[in-house]
Amino acid sequence: MLCGVGRPLSVAAWLVLPLLFAAAVLALTAAGGLLLDATWPVTLSSWLGGGAAAIAAALAPSVNWRGRRQRLVLPATYPLLLLTAGLASDAVAVPQPVGLALGAPALLAVVVGVARRLRRPTPRPADTESTVVIPTQSRPTPSRTPRGVNA
């Protein structure tokens, strides 16, 4: 199975993408707090760990696994590890500048990655005009006469 970018993911990219997501959300939340001049710190949420685990689970079929054991163990354990980390870090307060400093590089990496992907040409589907269509044997249609009319 291929991921949305049209090619298999490496194991390293699969391991990093959920963490980039969580850090980018942390940065956006901190930036929102700073823009609103809020006094509250950014709190980590179990929802953030759940979102990261969902991303890891959703992208697992698109990874180019190096071996059978890796293909069986990592897709089951890594999302559970992310979910457990999210539950353990629920309601941990992070000061807004620290949240922004931790998450800004991740947010930048996500934006740069998406921008690079959008600049690449999209692969074209196979040429359908050169496809040879072999007609199937057609059955002769019986001649129909209206009811009540004898031929």
Q: Delimit the domains of the chain by residue range.
A: 11-116
Predicted confidence band of residue 5 (pLDDT cuts 50, 70, 90)? very low
Mean per-residue pLDDT for 61-75?
A: 91
pLDDT of 125 reads 59
pLDDT 10s digits, 120-151:
776 665 554 555 555 566 565 666 666 666 65
Cα 8 to Cα 123: distance, rounded to the nearest angstrom: 14
Number of C-beta neighbours around residue 30 at 10 A = 24
Q: What is the pLDDT of residues 71-114, one digit of tens each?
A: 999 999 999 999 999 999 998 999 999 999 999 999 899 889 88
Kindly give the residue spans of alpha helices, DSSP state H, lying in 64-123. 68-88, 96-119
143: amino acid identity, one letter: S
Structure letter (DSSP) for residue 61? G
CA angle 80–83–84, rounded 5-degree value: 85
State the pTM of this model. 0.70
